[in-house]
Amino acid sequence: MSKRDYYELLGVARDVNEADLKKAYRRMAMKFHPDKNQDNPEAEAKFKEAKEAYDVLSNAQKRAAYDQFGHAGVDPSAGGGGAGPGNFSDIFGDVFGDIFGGGGGGRARNRAYRGSDLRYNMELSLEDAVAGTTVKIKIPTLVGCKTCAGSGAKKGSSPTTCTTCGGTGQVRIQQGFFSVQQTCPHCHGNGKMINDPCGDCHGQGRVEERKTLSVKVPPGVDNGDRIRLGGEGEAGENGGPAGDLYVQIHVKPHAIFERDGSSLLCQVPISVATAALGGELEVPTLNGRVKLKIPAETQTGRLFRLRGKGVAPVRGGATGDLLCKVVIETPVKLTSKQKELLREFEDSMSKDNNTHNPQGRSWMDGVKKFFDDMKL
């Protein structure tokens, strides 16, 4: 019996592009798939015809030979297209892979695979990050099912070897000159079939669970640091090792201090009188209060360094310093008497020809020179 024209069989024109050819093939494959046509003995034959036509027309070299010589150019007896002998599901596994997302290139799932790594974002106060602490966390994760010991089969039963792939999880098909290996369409790469699945994990071998862990945070951690907890990630597949849990550190903003590496910075407001006459202040550190001596004639923005009052880096090294930046605060809500005293004070300052305001005098001299230069 002569074979039907491949283009006519798939219902496409001879100049059909690759995308439209694939769509036509999928429609035919789904329409005549034997599982959907169990009462139609002709479905399998039409299914095979559609696959044979697609195998030829989707291959540029075979398609050119077919266009020139017809079926003789791709005769299987001459080494052309067509599937080799074997189990029905072996021959057509690639069809289901193409349609439903499986197929060749998948990993053999009967092998043991390491579980996925997990990430947990942990927020810490600056005090805890600098001093170190221990935090209990709860995480959702997949763990091995205790009921079936990870096998996926109901207690008292066990998975059986897949008869299609012989337990390898892969099947081999012949496509023209090539032999192609792909994931078994029956066991989906597991190599085993579970006829009586476990009621707790439903045949998956793993169940979701929330577990509590104690995380020891070392002193000196900072934003972006990670703490690795080996084996606390998701359980592996088929008895494979568990993944790891990575705890990502985020340090919350502090009301007083700002961290810069191993140094701490803070702003210290001081009064005009303290800045002019000098004095002594109590300033906070993460270890308690310390005295800070302010010399007379201190200007705003000046930095005072308190050595060793910063952070000991988590990876080792010298403890940093605390840098205190003084900011002179302008008094507010003055009484009439206070305003009067300030005016008297200002008058007494101006009588001394601005010798008490060197920065102001220097700035005014610069402004005067600027305008004089503009007149030239």
Q: What is the pLDDT of residues 218-231, one digit of tens each?
A: 999 999 999 999 99
Regarding pTM above 0.75, the answer is no
Domain 6-82 = CATH 3.40.1190.20: no
**Each residue's pLDDT tens digit, 252-290:** 999 999 999 999 999 999 999 999 999 999 999 998 999
How many other CB atoms are there within 10 angstroms of residue 369's CB atom? 10
pLDDT band at 176 (very low <50, low <70, confident <90, very high): low
Tokens at 165, concatenated: 């792939």
Considering the domain 258-328, what is its CATH architecture?
A: Sandwich (2.60)
Residue 178: what pLDDT?
60
Domain with CATH 2.60.260.20 in the chain: 258-328
Closest by CA to 302, choosing from 271, 324, 269, is 324
Ramachandran angles phi, psi of 46, nearest 5°: -70, -35
Region at 117 (left for phi over 0; alpha for psi -120 to 50; beta for the rest) = beta
**Each residue's pLDDT tens digit, 314-334:** 988 899 999 999 999 999 999
Domain spanning 118-251, CATH class? mainly beta
Region at 204 (left for phi over 0; alpha for psi -120 to 50; beta for the rest) = alpha
Residue 83: what pLDDT?
37
SS3 state of residue 48: helix
- Calculate what percentage of the chain has a pLDDT beyond 70: 85
Domain with CATH 1.10.287.110 in the chain: 6-82
Task: Indicate the residue type of 229.
Answer: L
SS3 state of residue 151: coil
